[in-house]
Structure 1
Amino acid sequence: MKPMTYKNYSARIEYSDEDQCFVGRVVGIRDIISFHGDSVDEIRQAFQEAVDFYLETCTQRGEPPNKPYSGNLMLRVSPEVHAAVAAAAEVSGKSINQWASETLSKAAQY
């Protein structure tokens, strides 16, 4: 399942039975941006408005907005795991980056 995205920001959306509406939060940044709506169209609109408001507020304050994850991931693993990953990548005819990206994507069900 792909997340809702807008201007490179992604949202996690859940249904709140207590509030009887959809509640969303922008993920992948330190700042907290939340929003809500009663339908898919409303939650999408609220998400876009929240991101636009966040970016506008950052501009007005002269502060850089938090950026979504860059796509660069540094990992520290044991030499044995590194060797096993390198071997698995080589056997599949891929670079370590290609192999790791595909493997992590499958694990995250992205």
Structure 2
Amino acid sequence: MINKDKKIERIIGPAQSARMVETIVGCKWSLTVYQLLVQGINRPGEMVRATEGLSTKVLNQCLKRNIEFGLLKKMSYPEIPPRVEYIITELGYKLLPILDSLTQLQEEINKSK
């Protein structure tokens, strides 16, 4: 039996994490970047060469956003020529199953059309 007198409190979603997921999923290249990093392709030049249509400018914007969220970390090495690599942080690894679930959901939606 439902108690009609009891008020339900509004549930407020986790704003920061929701914005983070929206930004990452909304970026055309973020999922590809994570796929590259998981495969061990972690240098910007390698990423651009491995991905058709990805420009250096767009890659740098994508990497910067992910670093700001704390999902990726930039590793700079004091070598000549300079070497830069990106790694997925602990928080980034926690996000990967969520991104995989969203990808699977989209595939199911596409199949049902």
User: TM-score of the superposition, structure 2-length normalised?
Assistant: 0.23
User: TM-score of the superposition, structure 1-length normalised?
Assistant: 0.24
Q: 1 or 2, which has the higher strand percentage?
A: 1
Q: 1 or 2, which has the higher helix percentage?
A: 2
